Amino acid sequence: MFRESDRSMSAAQTREERLDKRRKISLTLWRRLVQIATLAFFVGVPLLNLYGVNAITGTLYSVAVGSLTMSDPLVVIQHVLAAKELYVPLLLSVALPVVLAVALGPVFCSWMCPQGFMSELIEFLHQRLMPSRNTHLAVRSGAGWIRVKWGILVGGLIAVALFSLPLFNYISAPGIITTQLASGIFLGTVGIELVVIAAVLVFEFFWIRRGWCKVVCPIGAALIAMKSPLTLRIEHNEQHKCNTSACKVACVTSCQLDIDPRNAKAMWLCTNCAACVDACPDSALLFTLSSTRFAAGRRA
């Protein structure tokens, strides 16, 4: 009788483990598919335009699908500050991106941004080519000098307002990548901007993983600033003490932004990539809309 009960419990546990594994794999799989689809979309758009199909046009600065236009919120803010005027159609073009950022957090960074995708590939190569050698400097999101990222955003906005220069166009990695893709397809040439992108990737490979995202990217800073107490986020279940032998702080080591998801003060920098959720062997991390821990992090 006890043996049958044990076998039933073991079978139930095995089924649960298989279901949990499929759930975890699906998060990473879906994110990879979205990243690849986004990159393929911005390769396909100029190809369609090249053959006279103009129903979809644009880059990640601004893209138009029929009569619907969606623009990078930071680029629109830049235009308003530089031109010293409010253009209603341009303001309306940020409605969907802003709603998505407020509701889902900076998922653009982790699920769609081509720079983020390439940075992840660079980290994958780093781990494969240098498995026993950690050449990366210890740069953790939330450290004091992370203020550099906010300084670039705020200082850039002030400079745009004073000098009316499109500064963020020159440091928008997703905009640069998609614009250069279009240029390569249309004109057969690319600009020196891609050399800068390549240099960033080399720097991340040898020195600071995801350094652009953690230290520089003003778009990421702007999207993170749009978080609210109602924004979707990853939260640690306090009932899980993370003492199991299978854990080994897998959530921290899996995060390429070096955020500890158990620390509410650092999680407001999270981009909801769900790598930590996949890595956690105890299902101690979950997506939530509750606001208590987020508010604590923002106040800190």
For residue 31, the one-letter residue type is R
pLDDT at position 291 is: 53
Provide the residue-wise pLDDT of the chain in tens; the chain has 300 residues. Answer: 445 444 444 444 444 454 455 455 578 889 999 999 999 999 999 999 999 999 999 999 999 999 999 999 999 999 999 999 999 999 999 999 999 999 999 999 999 999 999 999 999 999 888 876 565 555 555 556 678 888 999 999 999 999 999 999 999 999 999 999 999 998 899 999 999 999 999 999 988 889 899 889 999 999 999 998 889 999 887 776 666 666 767 888 888 888 888 887 788 889 999 999 988 887 788 888 755 444 444 444
Can you give the pLDDT at residue 136? Answer: 57
Between helix 173-187 and helix 193-206 the angle, nearest 10°, is 130
- Helices 73-83 and 95-104: crossing angle in degrees, nearest 10, is 130
C-alpha pair distances (Å), 3 with each of 10, 11, 15, 17, 225 = 10, 12, 18, 21, 56
| Domains, in order of start, for the chain | 14-226 (no CATH), 231-300 (3.30.70)
Rounded Cα distance, 73 and 78, in Å: 9
pLDDT at residue 142 in the model: 53
Please enumerate in sequence order all residues whose Cβ is within 8 A of that of 66, keeping only pairs 6 or more positions apart, or say none: 55, 56
SS3 content of the chain, % helix, strand, coil (to 5): 60, 5, 30
3-state secondary structure of 70: strand
